[in-house]
Amino acid sequence: MRTAKTLRVSLPPNQLWDLERTAGKENRTMSDLAGERYRRYVSDEARREFARAVETLRTEAATEAARTPAAKLTMRQFDAEIAAARRCREALRRKVETQRLGPGKEAPL
């Protein structure tokens, strides 16, 4: 059973001649060349759509960052935030260990 459908395409004579010549040169059918071109078109269009989406996200992020300058941290502030989070996590870990082992007992290292 045939899975492909026939498609009629109109081309100017010079494009048809180029297509026939290219197909002969590459030992391929004109159908193969047309199918490959369509797959490339779809792939390129998907890439362009992705690029547009990324650009939109970048624009939105830049706009949001401009509205909230407090969201921009210096490296020193960033390091201080990380250190504070680590201290908080360590204190929570000690509290859980104390509750698990009982008061006055230390967890083995």
Kindly report, residue by residue over 56-98, the tens digit of the pLDDT.
Answer: 888 887 777 666 655 677 888 888 888 999 999 998 888 888 8
pLDDT, average across residues 23-42 = 93
pLDDT, average across residues 40-69 = 83
Output the six-digit token pair for 45: 């269009």
Residue 104 has a pLDDT of: 63
Q: Is the pTM for the entire model greater than 0.75?
A: no
**Does 107 score more than 60 pLDDT?**
no
**Does 15 score more than 60 pLDDT?**
yes
**Does 109 score more than 60 pLDDT?**
no
pLDDT greater at residue 109 or residue 59: 59
**Does 19 score more than 90 pLDDT?**
yes
Q: Contact at 8 Å (CB) between 56 and 63?
A: no
16 vs 33: CA distance, rounded Å:
12
For residue 30, give the nearest of 44, 45, 43, 15 by alpha carbon.
15
Q: Structural domain boundaries of the chain?
A: 12-69, 73-104
Residue 76 has a pLDDT of: 87
